[in-house]
Amino acid sequence: MDYEKSMKRCIELAECGAGNVSPNPLVGCVVYDRDGNLISEGFHRKCGENHAERDALLKLKNDEARGGTLVVNLEPCSHYGKTPPCADLIIEKGIARVIAGMEDVNPKVAGNGFKKLENAGIEVVSDVLEKECRQLNEIFIKNMTEHKTFVAIKTATTLDGKIAASNGASKWITSEKARAHVKNIRNCYDALLTSSSTVIADNPSMLHKCNIILDRQLKTLNGYKIYNNQRVIVFFDEALPMPQGNAEFIKTPVRDNMLDLEFVFNKLYELNIMSVLVEAGGHLNGQVLSYADKVYHFIAPKILGDNNGRSCFDFRILTDIAECYNFKIDSVEHFEPDILLTYYPISKI
């Protein structure tokens, strides 16, 4: 049996839960009978619903899985959470071998699932496609191990790194295909975060289940499309009076004329917002860089050549090149005619 191929299928299945499982992990599972025939597949659809292993195993008749192999991208759980332990069901169904992608980082599980299976005489093989499995659940891993919200930035620039001309005009830098993919990226995040400057300049709708606006001086309260979304959270200067309006308003400390981002991201975690995608201009992007876990950078094959054009990370005057931020490029994808670079800060790898 090709474990890596089966694990890739688990990852594919797991991704079907994107956008619905937070704060839980993305998990997919495939089951083979004792002769190696694929007999079931499953995935975790929604927080609170069946785990992937249970989803796959409950589709089978009594003894179908006996002596078989179960492949899953995360260690099966051993604890009673919203659902009973998957390890118990795996044992009950008579599975002979479990192939997993990674040990669970949830301290309630953390190796206990594997122990439970092994104590029942089940053969366990872990860390198959571990890197891919960890990347699939990068949000869950950060939440569990650091108790912090995962922060990503999405930007789109020309070849010369500009998001707009000096007059602010920025419409349609990237192609239809690239913009369609942005919707998939947004779907992987609990919330989108932007600044009052972007709301005022572009009046974007940024359709999402949760939108966050950093609006220190409460300049966006009237008539902007973003306020029509399901849930809007506005961070503003704590010195101002609490406004009325169709949003949740959060008083925020101000440092150096900027809302305190440390406060903002801590507050998001308190509000159970486990991941946030920042889509803003160069100033906020730049300020967020030191908190960023990941950057999605679309590049269109255009050169603006505008002396005063706005850069995607535009927030400081640098005299020493050694102070640059360093990243590792993870992937380059084509969305004709544009590309998407995905990169991670080196300090966090």
Catalytic residues: 53
**Residue from the set 31, 41, 44, 102 that interacts with ligand AOF by CB under 6 A:** 44
Is 337 an interacting residue with respect to ligand AOF (CB under 6 A)?
Answer: no
Q: Counting contacts by CB under 6 A, is residue 77 touching ligand AOF?
A: yes
Among 10, 11, 44, 51, binds Zn ion (CB under 5 A): 51
**Does residue 181 interact with Zn ion by CB under 5 A?**
no
Is 252 a binding residue for ligand AOF by CB under 6 A? The answer is no
Nearer to Zn ion, 56 or 86 (CB): 86
d(CA 187, CA 205): 15
- Choosing from 36, 81, 243, 253, the residue that interacts with ligand AOF (CB under 6 A) is 81
Taking the CA of residue 56 as centre, how many other CA atoms within 13 Å lie in the half-sphere pointing to its CB?
Answer: 30
Q: Rule CB under 6 A: is residue 115 a binding residue for ligand AOF?
A: no
Backbone phi, psi, residue 182, to 5°: -55, -35
The site partner of 283 among Zn ion, ligand AOF, none (C-beta below 5 to 8 Å per kind) is none
What size, in residues, is the chain? 349
What residues from 19 to 38 belong to the interface with ligand AOF (CB under 6 A)?
24-25, 27
Nearer CB in complex with Zn ion: 77/100: 77
- Give contact residues for Zn ion (rule: CB under 5 A): 51, 77, 86
- Give contact residues for ligand AOF (rule: CB under 6 A): 24-25, 27, 44, 51-52, 74, 77, 81-83, 86, 104, 106, 109
